[in-house]
Amino acid sequence: MSHFSVRFDRREGPPEAPVRVLAPSGELDAHTAPDFEAALQACLDGGDARLVVDGAGLDYVSSAGLGVFMAFVEPARTAGGDLKIAALPDRVFEVFDLLGFPTVFDMAPTVEAAVAAFDAR
Amino acid sequence: MAAPPETLWVRGQTAELARVRRRVSAWAEASGLPARAGRRIQLAVDETVANAIEHGLGAGRRVVVRGAPGRGGLTVTVRYRGARFDPTTAPTAPPDAALRARAKHGYGLHLIRRLVDDVAYRWDRGTNEVRLTVRAAPPPNAS
Res B3: pLDDT? 75
Residue B137: per-residue pLDDT: 81
Domains in chain A: boundaries: 4-118
Alpha helices, DSSP H, located in chain A? 33-45, 63-78, 90-98, 111-118
C-alpha distance from residue B37 to each of A37, B25, B73, B117, B119 (Å): 29, 10, 9, 10, 15
Q: What is the mean pLDDT of residues B108-121?
A: 96
Task: Select from 3.30.750.24, 3.40.50.720, 1.10.1200.10, 3.40.50.970 the CATH code of A4-118.
Answer: 3.30.750.24
Q: How large is the ipTM?
A: 0.93
Does the pLDDT at position B142 exceed 60?
no
Under an 8 A CB cutoff, do A101 and B99 touch?
A: yes
Number of A–B residue contacts, CB under 8 Å: 75
Beta-bridge partner residues of B68: B75
| Cβ <8 Å between A98 and B39 | no
Q: Chain A contacts of B107, Cβ < 8 Å? A: 63, 66-67, 99
Instruction: Determine which of B10, B11, B13, B17 to mutate to test the interface with A (most A C-beta atoms within 10 Å).
Output: B17
Task: Give the three-state DSSP class for A61.
Answer: strand
pLDDT tens track for B41-73: 999 999 999 999 998 888 889 999 999 999 889
For position A119, what pLDDT does the model report?
82
**Mean pLDDT across A67-81:** 97
CA distances from B126 to A72, B24, B56 (A): 38, 25, 11
Which of B47, B53, B104 lies nearest to residue A71, judging by beta carbons? B104
Touching check for B97 and chain A: CB below 8 Å? no
What is the model's pTM?
0.94
Q: Do B102 and A94 touch (CB under 8 A)?
A: no
Task: Provide the pLDDT confidence category of residue B122 given band limits of 50, 70 and 90.
Answer: very high
Percentage of chain B beyond pLDDT 70 is: 94
Rounded mean pLDDT of B101-112?
93
Q: Which residue of A has its CA nearest to B38?
A: A91
For residues B142 and B130, the model is more confident at B130
Q: B105 vs A67: CB contact, 8 Å cut-off?
A: yes
When the pLDDT of each residue in chain B is averaged and rounded to a whole number, the result is: 92
Enumerate chain A positions whose Cβ falls within 8 A of a Cβ in B: 1-3, 27, 29-31, 60, 62-64, 66-68, 70-71, 73-74, 91, 94-95, 98-101, 103-104
Q: Tell me if B14 and A30 make a contact (CB, 8 A cut-off).
A: yes
* Interface list for B 113-132 with A (CB within 8 A): 114-115
Q: Min CA distance, A5 vs chain B (Å)?
A: 14
Question: Above 70 in pLDDT, residue B139?
Answer: no
**Alpha-helix residue ranges (DSSP H) falling in chain B:** 17-30, 35-51, 95-100, 107-115
Residue type, A92: V
By the CB < 8 Å criterion, does B15 face chain A?
yes
pLDDT exceeds cutoff 70 at B105:
yes
Confidence of residue B141 (pLDDT cuts 50, 70, 90): low
**pLDDT at A24 (0 to 100):** 98
> CB–CB of B53/B109 below 8 Å?
no
Q: pLDDT confidence of A120, banded at 50, 70, 90? A: confident
Q: Give the model's pLDDT for residue A62.
A: 98
Q: What percentage of chain B reaches a pLDDT higher than 90?
A: 80
